[in-house]
Structure 1
Amino acid sequence: MAFEIKQQGPVYDVCIVGSGAGGGMAAKILSDAGLKIALLEAGPKYDPADPEQATQLKWPWESPRRGATTTRPFGDFDAAYGGWEIEGEPYTTKNGTKFDWFRSRMLGGRTNHWGRISLRFGPRDFKHKSYDGLGDDWPISYDDVKPYYDRVDKMIGVFGTKEGIFNEPDGYFLPPPKPRLHELMIKKAGESLGIPVIPARLSILTRSVNKDRAPCFYCSQCNRGCTVYADFSASSCLVKPAMKSGHVDLYTNAMVREVLTDKTGKATGVSYVDRLDLQEYQVKAKVIVLAASACESARLLLNSKSARFPDGLANGSGVVGKYLHDSTGASRGAFLPQLMDRKRYNEDGVGGMHVYIPWWGDNKKLDFARGYHIELGGGMPMPSYGFGFGIENLNGKYPGPDGQPKAAGGYGASLKNDYRRFYGATIGFAGRGECIAREDNYCEIDPQVVDKYGIPVLRFNYTWSDHEIKQAKHMQDTFEELIHEMGGVPLGTRPGADSMYGLDTPGRIIHEVGTTRMGDDPKRSVLNKHNQAHEVKNLFVVDGGAFVSQADKNPTWTIMALAIRASEYIVDELKKQNI
């Protein structure tokens, strides 16, 4: 590291750390208000329409390694620069914890490759303690956030239908795409079982919302980034228009080390290490907005120690890093014999499900406290390396072309024939549910380990409770009920109690939240209801760290709604000279 720390740029009105859902939205709203912004991103600049970076519409054989391995966790063509493991950027665990922390080092962060499932939290999701006595209520309600959800819908675009389900709030929807064949079959099975199957709510344009973005052309490759910006990514839908204002200076490859403060405890800027030259720099600003992701923002605060904040910045409560929780996840696949030997036709659609199953259960009648939704997969997507059918589970059960039972698979012509016969005959179910926020699930600074930039790393402590395990069992029961109703054959062995019913390792769903929770009591929370630190009035956190609880929904829509709300509060407070 250099001994001389250089200051970059002027003293900005606002310095934003992170360019994903929260940081991108803050940059858009604050730059629209005329404020001078420094936007810091730990990775490189990214534009899915840039020919040098675009991977959309590439053929499987264009993979540099012909599919033998990959440098990205979701495949060579996926729009994610990073993963659960990044060379030189370790994290550790304690007490036998298993936790996988996904980082996406690029402009737009994890919004470049997510599933675009864009669900509002419902009235109950903000007040769960009032319903079941577990966790804590948010200091705000659905009615407080609704106007901002409405604005996100109109600004970004989301398809869906108005269903009138109490805790699945309707919004401003674009027309949804029609269900595919396997989705129609799942819907029919759901109706027989009293399980709702409704049009999905994804932030993918089925018609334009502005002149800069074209409608989806149904290539089904949203995870690769969209060259026409039809799907939502913070890089293309928020940061790019914010940059056009002329009010945003973008700093890429900026690995932020800490938030700087003066003797009074006021935040004055940030210190970062340039990933390319490994030199340390400072950016000064009147207001600091952290949006680096729930765990990364907690890491920054915990590493920002001073005489005034010996346990980390804004951590007088000792709560920074605590109440970490990720969505639950469990899955199952199935084979549908009636879909063997399917006629070939274009069934691509959007890069995700056209229908989904919202939570329908009554937890007062169940042995776990919170709900889940079910994401659905299947159809006839583009085959790729690693694209399998689970046909090893069907040996001898179904006849070959000659009508005689045979072992599926094999080699050469036999294998090719089976792939053709089974193609499009498999479906998948993935449950995504709510975990109860607990103080004993947390991340902290490991006192022994630093990354390659010399920054102390996080150490995780996490367990699932009986509520999450029982929820996963209910998921598996539901999957099997639906498969049976459809006349299908479950693939693989049903996960049992020994594997917590297939409950994924914490962090694998990439929905971690809660590490800088908001609340009215400064002794039990880090932020107030405006995402503002109780102890540092010019410091805000607008990523998932502010969440008091996760819902049975993906967090991105709520992150952006709260980012609008917090950003406009910042503008108002600056005008009043309160910060």
Structure 2
Amino acid sequence: MRSPAVDVDVCIVGTGAAGGMLAYRLAKLGISALSVDAGDVVPNSYFDTHEASNTQEVPDPFNPFNPRASALFAEAPVSPVDGFTQHQILKVGGLQNLWGGVSLRFSAHDFSGGHGARAWPIGYDDLAPHYAAVEELIGVTGLKEANPELPDGSFIEPFPPTRLDRHIQGKLTREPRWSGITANRKAVETRRAKPNRCRQCGMCQNGCPSDSIYKFSSRLLPEIANASNYRLQPNTTVRSLACGRDGTITALRCFDKTRQAEVTITARRYVLCAGAIETAIILLGSAGAEYPRGLANGNGLVGRHLMDNPNIVFVALHPGLLFSARETYFGYGNHLLVPAKAPIDPESSTRYLADIYHGNPQLVPLFRRNLPKFIPFRLAERITFASSLTLLFGPADSHADNRVEVRGGQKRIFYSWTKRDRAVIEALAAEGPQLVRATGGMLLGAYPGGPGDSIHYAGTCRMSSAPADGVVDSNLRSFDHRNLFICDGSVMPSLPEKHSALTIMALASRLATYLASPAGRAAEATAGHVQCN
């Protein structure tokens, strides 16, 4: 049975950081767009009961703060060969249903190939207006510091630091190597007049019941859900892309889980925004007689150069605050950001970023799990409130053998830390205890993250100036297919130490502008429709 024809300019696969922003911008620009997502919308009410218990331990190994949040993570559909852990949420908004909201601009140095990384075919100035547009749209906190390595943005006022934050900030400001410490830059609503102002529970990544942290489904989707030129098709799993002999993408083959039916979607242009791993899988899984290695893969680079940030978590106790009055203000949990450098050897160094969390009620169950059983709850609470978690992120190295593959229907990830990655991890391991001591803290433990644990996946369909070096051009158009575009972390040629979500959203904003331009419209193929077979 066929559904009524729907005229579609652009079909977007995925509604995460890139897909959601792209859908919104295209709808506002008057372009007809259809978004396809593997899941449905997670309502804010889903997180209403997320408060942790004060009397019992929470046994969840991934998210000890909120089992309901952990339940959103899908079982990894890709088999890791070398220990890569894939985290995925198959819902509208993707991983931004459970993200910390940290939104940072990459620096001009990051785009130019600084720190030994691969240069981008675009520069900071190409994305600067789109950074600003996205920041103003989603609301990003921050203070202007004139630090070229952490460029200023269009900020709303951050929440003030807690007592512990002020203690840490005062200590680090006196140390030249950490004097760049600043207010965290987060996509969280802090303005008093806004009805969705942050309720200050202290743990954004638990899921937000008040729509305070940005996500597409609660912030932007309501503005375009009833627009005549936009449609969301949820609960629809993408199987593959179909391609004509001339290289034109002719259809998106899907399975509608609601109707239990195979669905074919056609459009003038297609944009894959499924994430660095899933986008590569779609392209590789679309192999056929004309394209035996998969689509957009004429040079064999699809799936190659997978990246994720090396990271280590340091837990510290600050004895001077152990028996101070109970803190009652917690804000959004991680008020401090520290951009810095660490030596790798006598001749080189690495940039890193420290994201510092202060103790709050949400962390009490986690600390209790790691304390002797005889310690009473009240003491565990005091220890928690006098403790900090510092996440150190380093830049990722790019290596062709770190890759996603599809062979015989089997999806696999091959990933190992490179020599450079290991050097960065060793530098972070040495730097963390020094940073903790500088704050007057006592180190309780260090927990290195494995490949995939930063969840900043990038690089499998990287952009380049020439077809031999990448999968898409500077406008994110496939070199092999004129009406196929890719817009997610996969197009990033390098991954610095900074969180990548804001850059991905800025790339989506830039792509929307291009698709609405005469040059972008030149990629149009045949008129689009949706049909059930």
State the Cα distance separating 1:305 from its structure 2 match.
1.5
Task: State, as a whole percentage, how many aligned pairs show the same letter.
Answer: 28
Distance 1:275 1:61, change over 3 A: farther
**Match among 119, 125, 140 for residue 143 of structure 1:** 125
Larger relative contact order (CA 8 Å, sep ≥ 6): 2
**Match among 23, 30, 45 for residue 27 of structure 1:** 23
Contact 2:50–2:66 (Cα < 8 Å) also in 1: no
Contact 1:19–1:239 (Cα < 8 Å) also in 2: no
What is aligned with 2:208? 226
Structure 2 counterpart SS, 1:561: helix
What is aligned with 2:440? 487
What is aligned with 2:339? 358
What is aligned with 2:90? 105
**Match among 501, 508, 531 for residue 563 of structure 1:** 508
**TM-score with structure 2 setting the length:** 0.91
Distance 1:363 1:155, change over 3 A: farther
Alignment of 1:125-164 (within 5 A): 125-128=110-113, 131=114, 134-164=116-146
Superposed CA offset, 1:433-477 (max 9, x none): 111211121111142xxxxxxxx3421111112322222222222
State the Cα distance separating 1:238 from its structure 2 match.
2.5
What is aligned with 1:176? 158
Superposed CA offset, 1:78-127 (max 9, x none): 556543x51xx632233xx1101111111111111111110000001011
Structure 1 counterpart SS, 2:391: strand
Looking at CA atoms only, which structure, 1 or 2, has the larger radius of gyration?
A: 1
Counterpart-to-counterpart distance in 2, 1:143 and 1:551: 17
Structure 1 counterpart SS, 2:141: coil
Q: Aligned AA for 2:390?
A: F
What is aligned with 1:314? 296
Counterpart-to-counterpart distance in 1, 2:65 and 2:438: 34
Superposed CA offset, 1:382-436 (max 9, x none): 45544437445xxxxxxxxxxxxxxxx41xxx52353254241221211011112
Structure 2 counterpart SS, 1:26: helix
Distance 1:269 1:7, change over 3 A: farther
Q: Aligned AA for 1:530?
A: N
Structure 1 counterpart SS, 2:426: helix
Alignment of 1:171-570 (within 5 A): 171-194=153-176, 195-196=178-179, 197-207=181-191, 214-276=196-258, 278-350=260-332, 352-360=333-341, 367-368=348-349, 370-382=350-362, 385-388=365-368, 390-392=370-372, 409-410=373-374, 415-447=376-408, 456-492=409-445, 503-570=448-515
Counterpart-to-counterpart distance in 2, 1:243 and 1:522: 37
Contact 2:395–2:497 (Cα < 8 Å) also in 1: yes
Distance 1:61 1:417, change over 3 A: closer
Counterpart-to-counterpart distance in 2, 1:484 and 1:375: 16
Q: Aligned AA for 1:111?
A: Q
What is aligned with 1:499? none
What is aligned with 1:497? none
State the Cα distance separating 1:333 from its structure 2 match.
1.0
Counterpart-to-counterpart distance in 2, 1:547 and 1:269: 26
State the Cα distance separating 1:165 from its structure 2 match.
0.8
Distance 1:259 1:74, change over 3 A: farther
State the Cα distance separating 1:150 from its structure 2 match.
1.0
Considering only aligned residues, what root-mean-square deviation do their CA atoms show, in Å?
2.6
Counterpart-to-counterpart distance in 2, 1:81 and 1:538: 37
Counterpart-to-counterpart distance in 1, 2:70 and 2:92: 10
State the Cα distance separating 1:360 from its structure 2 match.
4.1
Distance 1:510 1:235, change over 3 A: same
Counterpart-to-counterpart distance in 1, 2:520 and 2:37: 27
**TM-score with structure 1 setting the length:** 0.84
Contact 1:515–1:545 (Cα < 8 Å) also in 2: yes
**Match among 28, 33, 37 for residue 41 of structure 1:** 37
Q: Aligned AA for 1:415?
A: P
State the Cα distance separating 1:513 from its structure 2 match.
0.3
Counterpart-to-counterpart distance in 1, 2:320 and 2:136: 41
Q: Aligned AA for 2:52?
A: P
State the Cα distance separating 1:578 from its structure 2 match.
4.2
Q: Aligned AA for 2:266?
A: K
Distance 1:118 1:78, change over 3 A: farther
Contact 2:402–2:414 (Cα < 8 Å) also in 1: yes
Structure 1 counterpart SS, 2:324: coil
What is aligned with 2:52? 60
Counterpart-to-counterpart distance in 1, 2:71 and 2:234: 13
Counterpart-to-counterpart distance in 2, 1:463 and 1:221: 31
Distance 1:246 1:346, change over 3 A: farther
Counterpart-to-counterpart distance in 2, 1:173 and 1:231: 15
